[in-house]
Amino acid sequence: MAAETVFGKIISGEIPTTFLAETDRVVAFPDINPQAPVHILVIPKSTEYANVTELAAGDPTLLAEMVAVAKQLAAEHANGEYRLIFNNGASVGQTVFHVHAHIIANLEERSLVGF
Ligand code: AMP
């Protein structure tokens, strides 16, 4: 079990956000500090996995569901094209140890910074 994180508090409702997508096992919401015109986070509701390596080994179907939600959001909020970024470890920039995918899109409007 991953340690309690800000994303666990978002799932429990303790920290408010706007869910842009929700399935039985996944939610998506805007990044609070966007690095691109479209910057959305997709996370599993489970707090079990700290990073994408653990998720891929433990529940690849859940990882595939996150990608499917990302595809849907990129179609809704951009032209369907997107970057999907998983930071895996503190030394490469991971700050929240509850696995999450960054959906980055609409980069023609602004150059990519921060990743
Ligand atoms: P990472 O650096 O890959 O661990 O990404 C963590 C991301 O979570 C950062 O881009 C933060 O801006 C974002 N973040 C932190 N707190 C919140 C929050 N309450 N709501 C939305 N995004 C958040």
Atom of ligand 1 at shortest range from CA of 85: 3
Residue 111 belongs to a domain: no
Q: Give the CA-trace dihedral at 115, 86, 33, 105, to 10 degrees.
A: 70
Structural domains counted in the chain: 1
Indicate which residue's Cα is closest to atom 12 of ligand 1: 33
Q: Of 18, 32, 88, 97, which is best to mutate to test ligand 1, by the most ligand atoms within 8 angstroms of its C-beta?
A: 32
| CATH number assigned to the domain comprising residue 47 | 3.30.428.10
Residue 42 belongs to a domain: yes
Residue 110 belongs to a domain: no
Residue 89 belongs to a domain: yes
| Ligand 1 touching residue 96 (CB < 6 A) | yes
**What is the reported pTM?**
0.95
Which residue range forms the structural domain that includes residue 59? 6-105
Residue 12 belongs to a domain: yes
CA–centroid distance, 75 to ligand 1, in Å, is 22
Residue 113 belongs to a domain: no
Q: Which distant-in-sequence residues (6+ apart) come within 8 Å of 76 by Cβ?
A: 20
Q: Which distant-in-sequence residues (6+ apart) come within 8 Å of 19 by Cβ?
A: 27, 28, 29
Mean pLDDT for 80-85 is 96
Residue 36 belongs to a domain: yes
Annotated active-site residue 100? The verdict is: yes
pLDDT by residue (tens digit) across 21-68? 999 999 999 999 999 999 999 999 999 999 999 999 999 999 999 999
